[in-house]
Amino acid sequence: AAAKVKEKMYKIAAHLLEASLDDMEVREGRVWVKGTDRSLSLTDIGMKAYWNKFDLPADMESGLEGSFTYDHPYTTAPSEDRKDLGVFYPIMGHAAHIPIVEVDIKTGQVKFLKYLAVHDVGTVVNPRSLQGQIRGGIAQGIGVALYEEVRYSPEGQNLTTTMNDYLVPTVAEVPHIEIYHYVTPSPFTAYGVKGGGEGGRMVAPPAVTRAVEDALKPLGVKIDELPMTPEKIVKWVTQAQAKTP
């Protein structure tokens, strides 16, 4: 997709600079005619692409976008009898999370002592962006595990229609997260990249759940319901203690 955008930028620049497409090169945020001082900024090209169609080549549509669908060689469709459901995700990242928590059995409050996350997303292209994506995903996962719940009245009325009712973790609730990367490049993608968005969001809820359950293991508490609100935790602890001889 990026290659298609680059090709279109070159065509627009070549047309406006009255030069050969083969003489275009991009550097320092501009498209240059090789061996000359003639150039256009990427901003100027973008403005022409979106706001001035009359300056574009006659056969070119407005806009500066590109799309591409990659057909992985190991992707398979489901069989007719549905015994084989096919392989839809042959490329994916992997993650392991270790949240360490402390649970107050009197109040049901869960306190994070530490949160470690190890991710393998293949080649890391943009470390800063990836860090933010993983942290944001973990924050969402903590919300699923401890806070976020849609509740209805007996009449079917949604009781969680505002941020006062539907709780999400804020900066005060999300712990410091230690993130480490184990790089195993994919042989099937450009630059060896894998998915970086799934690990944080999908791994955090079960990891936090198991951490809370492990903290309450001496009491015999088994957790099979989310979110683990303070009220529920107190209830589970009370029920477990009532069963203890």
pLDDT in tens, 143-184: 999 999 999 999 999 999 999 999 999 999 999 999 999 999
Q: Is 65 a catalytic residue?
A: no
Residues 23 and 99 in one domain: no
Residues 48 and 160 in one domain: no
pLDDT over threshold 80, residue 244: no
Residues 26 and 140 in one domain: no
The mean predicted confidence, pLDDT, of the chain is 94
Residues 136 and 225 in one domain: yes
197 phi and psi angles, rounded to 5 deg: -95, -25
Closest CA to 216 of 232, 231, 196, 237: 237
Task: Enter the pTM of the model.
Answer: 0.74
CB 186 within 8 A of CB 72: no
The answer to whether residue 111 sits within a structural domain is: yes
Closest CA to 140 of 111, 113, 103, 177: 177
pLDDT over threshold 90, residue 37: yes
Range of the domain at 128: 94-243
Residues 31 and 102 in one domain: no
The pLDDT value recorded for residue 50 is 96
Single out the catalytic residue among 18, 25, 80, 198. Answer: 198
Which region among 33-37, 56-60, 65-69, 85-89 has the lowest average model confidence (pLDDT)?
85-89
Residues 114 and 28 in one domain: no
The answer to whether residue 194 sits within a structural domain is: yes
Residues 139 and 200 in one domain: yes
> What is the domain count for the chain?
2
The answer to whether residue 231 sits within a structural domain is: yes
The answer to whether residue 161 sits within a structural domain is: yes
Residues 167 and 102 in one domain: yes
Residues 6 and 108 in one domain: no
Alpha-carbon distance of 113 to 156, in angstroms, equals: 39
Residues 104 and 36 in one domain: no
